[in-house]
Structure formats: structure tokens, C-alpha cells
């Protein structure tokens, strides 16, 4: 299992209310299951994936709020195996361990 997913699952095990909220948000393909839309924040912020950490600071991941600290994100993803990519929106977070 990928490291980022392990970290999220561990976090959800320690925070059952967050896990429940993620489950309620899942299966919506165009919305992150970890997005608390009402409060405009990430519910797994301490363990958010690298793509989320790079949002707003990498070319082509422009921040809608105008963040301008651009970096080249390619070194962070160059060794990524796209065939093993996991769509977090399709996981059952109530069952994740």
C-alpha cells in the first residue's frame, strides 16, 4: 500500500469522526472526500497527500486564491507508478484500516 494512503488510514483510525465524515463525502468523483466544504478546510490536513501539499505552488496547479510561490513539482512525482494510482474517492473509508 502506498505510504500516503497508509498515513491517511492511520490518521482515520485515530480519528473516527473524521473517518465518518470522509465516508459521507466519498463516491463523489469531483470532490475530495477529505474536503470539509462547510468549513472550507481539509479534514486530514496533517497527513494530506503530496498533490495537496503542492497545490498552489506548482506550475499548472494554480491556487484560486493567487498563491505565487511556484516550484517545479516534477521531481516529486517523476518516479510515480501511474498504474498503481489509487482513486481515494472510490475507497470505503468506514472500512479502511
Residues 16-35: tens digit of each pLDDT: 999 988 888 877 766 788 88
Number of domains composing the chain: 1
Q: H or E segment at 50?
A: helix 50-54
Residue 7 lies in a domain: yes
CA torsion angle 55 56 62 63 (round to 10): 110
Instruction: Please check whether residue 63 lies inside any domain of the structure.
Output: yes
Q: Is 81 a member of any domain? A: yes
Q: Is the pLDDT of residue 14 over 90?
A: yes
> In this predicted model, which residue has the larger pLDDT, 20 or 73?
20
Half-sphere exposure of 71 (CA within 13 A, CB side): 11
Indicate whether 63 pLDDT > 80: no
User: What is the largest distance, in Å, between two alpha-carbon atoms of the chain?
Assistant: 39
Residue 29 belongs to a domain = yes
Domain that residue 56 falls in: 3-90
CA angle 3, 75, 81 (to 5 degrees): 50
Tell me whether residue 45 is in a domain: yes
Decide if 97 is inside a domain. Answer: no
**Is 24 among the domain residues?**
yes
Judge whether 95 lies within some domain.
no
Grid coordinates standing for 4?
A: 500516503
Amino acid at each position: 500500500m502506498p505510504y500516503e494512503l497508509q498515513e491517511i488510514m492511520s490518521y482515520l483510525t485515530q480519528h473516527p469522526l473524521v473517518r465518518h465524515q470522509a465516508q459521507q463525502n466519498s463516491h463523489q468523483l469531483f470532490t475530495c472526500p477529505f474536503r470539509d466544504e462547510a468549513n472550507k478546510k481539509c479534514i486530514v490536513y496533517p497527513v494530506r497527500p503530496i498533490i495537496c501539499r503542492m497545490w498552489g505552488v506548482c506550475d499548472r496547479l494554480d491556487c484560486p486564491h493567487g498563491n505565487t510561490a511556484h516550484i517545479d513539482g516534477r521531481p516529486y512525482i517523476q518516479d510515480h507508478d501511474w498504474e498503481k494510482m489509487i482513486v481515494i474517492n472510490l475507497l470505503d473509508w468506514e472500512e479502511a484500516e
